[in-house]
Amino acid sequence: MKTLIIVDIESGKIKKTSLELVSIAQSLTVPFVGAYFGPEPTSELKSEISALGFSEFYFTTPTAQQALTAGSLASFLSPLIAKSQSSIILATNHSTNRDSLSLCAAHLKGAILNDVTHVAQTGAHIEIKKPLYAGKILSTYQLKGNGPHFILTRPNQFSNLPNTQSHLSMALFEGFELSGDNRIKIVESVKSSSQARPDLSEANIIVAGGRGLKEASNFKHLENLADTLGASVGASRAVVDAGWVGHDKQVGQTGKTVAPSLYIAAGISGAIQHLAGMSSSKVIVAINTDPAAPIFQKATYGIVGDALEVLPMLNTEIKAIL
């Protein structure tokens, strides 16, 4: 049996979250193979892939009519899982993977766990952990049987420095039919206005704002600090619902789950839905006028004050240090 890694590639590079999956696979006792849905890898990308220790790597090149939907990706992966004899399927926990791998799990009668924060070999068993009830408890599972077991991991929870151990056979995966189900069709892809910043789910530093910023124009203070720190900008649901920023910036239970090294929460009270999306951050700095705000219970450092006054001062001090 093997582990199959669903690799995400962006701008010709393997995404950081997929490198985390490789580090997990290298810690297990079975060979691992890779797969991705997209154009044939460039020579530069092939070199990057070959250095990671995949025993095999498969890809398929969709035509213009074969958009990346849950159905088309599932129709690529289901027969590949059988062909590669994979009992464990590792993927990053994002919407495309959740949809497509749920279809695969149903078709192949497999089990699926998403938002996983721990994967480790313990003797003959593989132990999985994931938070439940907005992070209030941590549940533990053991994989049993031959699977397939689908494991979708939370970004920034694992080491992303896999060992280099070149061993690779790369092949175009053919002999299957992409789904003809046209109930879902991608009509347009629009890049986020924050495309120049790090992807929110992968960012090492996030500066997030809430209603304490008072109005949309005051997000400029967050953006200035983010520029200084090389950070991504996030937001609470309240300001997204108010139309201050787009949904792509929302952190929380109904937005993105993040785990950066540093999370600065400015003017965010700390509702349980928001905490569920960022409580795994390594260091949390909270800025709020209310000393009893729930965010301070999770914060590593707290500043009681007006975010509109604190953020510019913080930016000035950090600039002086850098």
Domains of the chain: 2-172 (3.40.50.620), 205-321 (3.40.50.1220)
Q: What angle do CA 202, 203, 205 make, to 5 degrees?
A: 155
Question: Which range in 115-119, 124-128, 187-191 is most confidently predicted, on average pLDDT?
Answer: 115-119
Note the pLDDT of residue 201: 84
* Average pLDDT estimate for 160-168: 66
**Residues 30, 202, 161, 138, Cα dihedral to 10°:** -50
Task: Report the share of the chain in percent with pLDDT over 70.
Answer: 87
Cβ-Cβ contacts under 8 Å for 304 (sequence gap 6 or more): 288, 289, 290, 291
* Average pLDDT estimate for 219-232: 95
Q: Is the pLDDT of residue 314 over 50?
A: yes
Q: Strand pairing partners for 207?
A: 233, 264
Query: Out of 17-31, 56-70, 300-314, which region has the weakest mean confidence (pLDDT)?
Result: 56-70
Residue 175 banded pLDDT, cuts 50, 70, 90: very low
DSSP 129-192: EEEETTTTEEEEEE--SS--EEEEEPTTSS---PPP-----EEE--S-------SS--------
Greatest CA separation found in the chain?
Answer: 62
Cβ-Cβ contacts under 8 Å for 93 (sequence gap 6 or more): 114, 115, 116, 152, 153, 154, 155, 257
* Average pLDDT estimate for 223-239: 95
Helix (H) or strand (E) holding 286: strand 283-288
Residue 240 burial by Cβ neighbours in a 10 Å radius (0-12, 13-18, 19+): buried
Note the pLDDT of residue 184: 61
Cα distance between residue 267 and residue 117, in whole Å: 28
DSSP 201-239: TT-SEEEEE-GGG-SGGGHHHHHHHHHHHT-EEEE-HHH
Q: Which residue has the higher pLDDT, 38 or 116?
A: 116
Note the pLDDT of residue 7: 93
Residue 192 banded pLDDT, cuts 50, 70, 90: low
Q: Is the pLDDT of residue 4 over 90?
A: yes
Question: 3-class SS at 4?
Answer: strand
Q: Is the pLDDT of residue 176 over 60?
A: no
Cβ-Cβ contacts under 8 Å for 18 (sequence gap 6 or more): 5, 6, 7, 8, 9, 92
Cβ-Cβ contacts under 8 Å for 161 (sequence gap 6 or more): 19, 23
Helix (H) or strand (E) holding 89: strand 86-92
DSSP 310: H
Q: Is the pLDDT of residue 313 over 90?
A: yes
Share of the chain residues as helix, strand and coil, in percent rounded to the nearest 5: 30, 25, 40
